Amino acid sequence: MYLCVYLIFIFIFIFVSSYKYVCVFVGREYAYLNREFMLKAMVSCVQDVLKKEPDWNTFVTVHHNYCTCESCRYKDNRTGQWREEELWVTRKGATSAKKDEYGIIPGSMATGSFIVKGLGNDMSWHSCSHGAGRRMGRKQAAGILSTKEFFNQLDASGVVCDRDERLIDESPLAYKDLNEVIRHQTNASIIKIEHRLLPLVNVKGF
Ligand SMILES: Nc1nc2c(ncn2[C@@H]2O[C@H](COP(=O)(O)O)[C@@H](O)[C@H]2O)c(=O)[nH]1
Ligand SMILES: [Mn+2]
């Protein structure tokens, strides 16, 4: 009887203490499966037309605002000693850029993305930006940007995409200049450029 209560107590303790880690893992997996689903749907369409197999060795996948447990080396200010520990790292607006690690830095629906390789820069905590980043918030963009200008810009870019006023907060004008954001990070030895991806089709969920 006592053993049973004891085991139940241990079980509850393990469940409560690991709950947040399970949630983090499930959230990341769910996001990954979503991306994989979209990628496979897109690859299938392209394959129908080109009749070619993609090179899966060059597959790059990157999370967007996430938390991982990583081996970190840092200077303990209290003791002055260097320490190496497994720590939970949250990257918000940033993504991992460890030495030789592939990454994706997207710009906007009209400017496309860069495939980059991390240089493992200690000064940026082995991280780079996860995109060009916003010049203005969603509400501000919806308030001040003109739909006409947005549609004209999409026409000029030649990108096949929905022209819907509900997408105004994703207008290219709402984001920073991707080339400038990349230039700062290559100058600071955070990343190096591997490929430049120009957009042909853009599909947004709304
Ligand atoms: N290649 C594309 N990049 C995009 C697009 N929309 C946004 N972005 C970039 O991604 C991040 C996250 O954007 P947010 O909409 O969640 O703020 C941001 O840094 C943008 O620069 C797109 O359609 N294509
Ligand atoms: Mn977006």
User: 186 lies in a domain?
Assistant: yes
Residues 114, 181 within the same domain = yes
The reported pLDDT for the residue numbered 14 is 77
Q: How confident is the model at residue 8, as a pLDDT? A: 85
Q: What's residue 16's pLDDT?
A: 74
Is 146 among the domain residues? Answer: yes
Q: Is residue 83 part of a domain?
A: no
Ligand 2 center–CA 167 separation, angstroms: 9
Residue 195 annotated to the active site: no
Do 167 and 104 share a structural domain?
yes
**How many residues can be counted in the chain?**
206
Is residue 80 included in any domain, yes or no? no
43 shares its domain with 99:
no
86 within a domain of the structure (yes/no): no
Element housing 93 (H / E):
none
pLDDT at position 50, please?
94
Coil, strand or helix at 140: helix
pLDDT of residue 140: 97
Considering every ligand atom shown, identify the ligand nearest to the alpha carbon of residue 133 and give its number: 1
Q: Which of 63, 130, 184, 195 is catalytic?
A: 130
User: What stretch of H or E contains 192?
Assistant: strand 191-197
Do residue 101 and residue 193 come from a single domain? Answer: yes
Total structural domains within the chain: 2
Residues of the chain short of pLDDT 70, as ranges, are none
- Domain ranges, residue 201: 60-64+95-206
Q: Which burial class, exposed, middle or buried, applies to 80 when counting CB atoms under 10 A from its CB (0-12, 13-18, 19+)?
A: exposed
pLDDT at 198: 96
Q: Is residue 173 within 8 Å of residue 150, measured between CB atoms?
A: yes
The pLDDT of residue 6 is 83
Is there a single domain that holds both residue 115 and residue 203? yes
Identify which of 56, 133, 58, 68 has the alpha carbon closest to the alpha carbon of residue 96.
Answer: 68
Q: What is the pTM of this model?
A: 0.88
ipTM of model: 0.96
pLDDT of the residue at 24: 87
Pocket of ligand 1 (CB under 6 A): 106-109, 112-113, 131-134, 170, 175, 202
Beta pairing, strands 127-129 & 94-96:
antiparallel
- 109 and 52, same structural domain? no
